[in-house]
Chains A and B, each alone.
Chain A
Amino acid sequence: MKEKTQVEHLNESLYDFRFDEDDADRFESGITPQIIREIAEEKGDPDWMRDFRLKSLEIYNKTPMVDWGPSIEGLDMSQIVTYIRPKTRMRTDWNEVPDDIKSTFERLGIPQAERESLAGVGAQYDSELVYHNVRREVAEQGVVYTDLESAMHDERWADIIRTHFMKLVPPTDHKFAALHGAVWSGGSFVYVPKGVHLDIPLQSYFRLNAKGAGQFEHTLIILEEGSYLHFIEGCSAPKYFVASLHAGCVELYVGKNATLRYSTVENWSKNMYNLNTKRAIVEEGGKVEWVSGSFGSHVSYLYPMSILHGRGARAEFTGITFAGEGQNLDTGAKIVHAAPDTSSYVNTRSISKSGGISTFRSAVQINENAHGSKCSVSCESLMLDSQSRSDTIPAMDIRTNRADVGHEAKIGRISDEAVFYLMARGLSEEDAKALIVRGFADNVSKELPLEYAVEMNNLIGIEMKGSIG
């Protein structure tokens, strides 16, 4: 990587830290145990959670910065305000949400979406949930959709949260998982009981609003045996001049014969460091389907992981990444086949333009006991000009010879002939290229619910604007 020297430089200072770890006061404007205690108190954390946060902070301080992938040198941790209290408490009625916050959401189209066929909307403003509503019929089916803080204090859910929270993604996983464990705030808790099939998707909107604020929302979803849920996560944030950090965490527990579809359209502002961790564990006969569109952020590290834990468990990952000017998006998927007869299918498209860098990483592991498993990885990259970069880094770790594994990678440029064909019918060069890119992205957009597909098509249109030199 061309920025390696900078990353190495960053590492040295971290190693200095490691030998000096008691001197936590160095995080003066950053994170101290005192700040963590304040967060815990403010939120009314149970003791175990407060201790968990403090332990995570210790791990954070001990863990070296990531030394692979795109440079995160521009991320100044001391500048990140980890916790910003919103002016309001939780609301369940839209009418009671203060006007300034409401107008921001209205610009994002959330109330309209809510009025339509949405099952529930949890909209995160800064770090706290200000608006939350689950439609009655969803609740009547026994489905819980609430924010994690409330659920933690509800005796019906306290235990289940304690036994699942950051068990799939432990704070020791990497530095930003540890940070997340220390400062997490807001996010969603979804519980779908045995046999319940939710026909309408649950949606959640995240949004960063305060200058320099990090966002550390936690999503915990538990599907019991034979249930079905489609969860949609959407993000957008306005542009700021101070580096911003998103280090969220998503943990998905998919029970026996249950199916979870998890869709994301992500459009963080172009100064955001998106260091998100998503992981699913799938039991016997269950299935997780990831649909992921990554458009925003300055730097992204995003590799949703599926652990196929029970016999016949399945994972599908469909993703698109669009890296424009100044963006370095490192995305992909990880699959662990940890049981027999499991199958996985990874299908991604990545687009880079105007000097953007798009890297696709896949890591597939097939354990010794996972005989009869199947895995297929297919990734296609499209570079819109000669300054842009696209890399594919597939890794396969196959520990049984009784598995069927396939990998296919294609890298291409936009066809001049196709552009000319469309221009000959009256489309401008910009529109012609946007149309071709949309076609390239079609495998993802057709997986999305209509309004998201429209949003994604619009995003491609916006990204393609001014791409003609």
Chain B
Amino acid sequence: MAHLLEIKDLHVSVEEKELLHGVSLDVKAGETHVLMGPNGAGKSTLGYSVMGSPRYAVTSGSIVFDGEDITALSADKRAKKGIFLSFQAPVEIPGITLSSFLRSALEQQTGQRIKLWDFKKRLRETMALLQMDESYAERELNVGFSGGEKKKAEILQLLMLRPKLAILDETDSGLDVDAVRTVSQGIHEFQKNPENSLLIITHNTRLLASLSVDKAHVLVGGRIAAQGGAELVDEINAAGFEKYLTVE
């Protein structure tokens, strides 16, 4: 299958400080990748860079998505091409409800009006899948949501917006067992489309237990320290990152 995401020798700095020192990573359409590493390794930096945060300056290297170099594109253009980032700390946006936000985001992405009836129906079904109370749809986006509800709302947006590539940044952190299970179900749902790709950023492997993983990458100190298949996840699970830290 063709490469969906190609990260080539990416160097990224924040305020003159280099955080990624030449990271390369390819994700093919339909694959699920895991990016692991200790705190401060640069995992979130990679996620933010692929999404196009202006805070993270790409000093060299490139990001190619669907055959197109997107290194210079703004985040909204990347989103329209089919990249989604589930935030580790979703931002509270007063003044717009989750439901109207989702509808306008969908309309922005597709450039078409969406019938309210169809939209509401799909929203209800997706919320049911994620065991979210329907009342959240009419609440202001993330405002006053618990940590778990915020993460569920991210997965809800993922399923509603239907991107080609989803980057999940620590989506499992701070969740209780039940919430992890619900979020996993949401991810399963996304994986049902064989074209959909995932890059799951995590520093523990709880979320991965029930998911099929094609490739795993270990990021340490802004560099890829190891790459492998699903077995690498098990290895990290058993032995932690110590082996790679000593290499560093």
A residues touching B (Cβ–Cβ < 8 Å)? Answer: 415-418, 420-429, 431-432, 435-436, 438-442
Distance in angstroms between the alpha carbons of A231 and B81 in the assembled complex: 49
B228 within 8 Å of A by Cβ? Answer: no
A427 touching B95, Cβ below 8 Å: no
Interface SS of chain A: helix
Contacts of B51 in A (CB 8 A): 420, 424
Residue B202 CB within 8 A of the other chain? no
B104 neighbours in A (Cβ, 8 Å): 427
Task: Given A416-B55, A421-B90, A426-B109, verify A438-B75 contact (CB < 8 Å).
Answer: no
- B53, B55, B74, B105: the one contacting A425 at CB < 8 Å is B105
**Which chain B residues (69-115) contact chain A, with CB distance < 8 Å?**
74-76, 78-80, 84-85, 87, 90-91, 93-96, 101, 104-105, 108-109
Band of interface residues on B? 20 to 34
Q: Do A424 and B94 have beta carbons less than 8 Å apart?
A: no
Question: A64 to chain B: closest CB distance in Å?
Answer: 44
Would you call A438 and B108 a contact (CB within 8 A)? no
| A418, B157: Cα distance in complex, Å | 16
B67 at the interface (CB under 8 A from A): no
Query: B91 near A418 (CB under 8 angstroms)?
Result: yes
Q: Which residues of A contact B79 (CB under 8 A)?
A: 423-426
Complex CA distance for A417 and B91, rounded to whole angstroms: 7
Q: Report the minimal beta-carbon distance from A245 to chain B, rounded to whole angstroms.
A: 35
Q: Which residues on B are within 8 Å of A, measured CB to CB?
A: 51-55, 74-76, 78-80, 84-85, 87, 90-91, 93-96, 101, 104-105, 108-109, 140, 157, 161
Point out the residue from A427, A438, A439 that lies within 8 Å of B76, measured CB to CB.
A427
Partner of B93, one of A428, A429, A439: A439
Chain A: minimal CB distance from B12 (Å): 15
- Within 8 Å by CB of A426, from B53, B54, B80, lies B80
Cα–Cα, bound, A164→B115 (Å): 55
- A426 and B161 contacting across the interface, CB-CB below 8 Å: yes
Assess whether A421 is in contact with B54, with CB atoms less than 8 Å apart.
Answer: no
The list of the 3 closest CB pairs from A to B, nearest first, reads A439-B95, A423-B75, A426-B79
Task: Give the residue of B93, B95, B108 whose beta carbon is less than 8 angstroms from that of A421.
Answer: B93
State whether B96 touches A435 (Cβ < 8 A): yes
Q: Which residues on the A side are within 8 Å of B78 (C-beta)?
A: 424
Known: A421-B87, A427-B76. A438 touches B96 (CB 8 A): yes
- Most interface-central of A425, A439, A442 (chain B CB within 10 A): A425
Q: Which residue of B lies closest to A438 (CB)?
A: B95
> Across the two chains, which residue of chain A brings its CB closest to B92?
A418
- A431 surroundings in chain B (CB, below 8 A): 108
The residue in B52, B91, B95, B108 that gathers the most chain A C-beta atoms within 10 A of its C-beta is B95
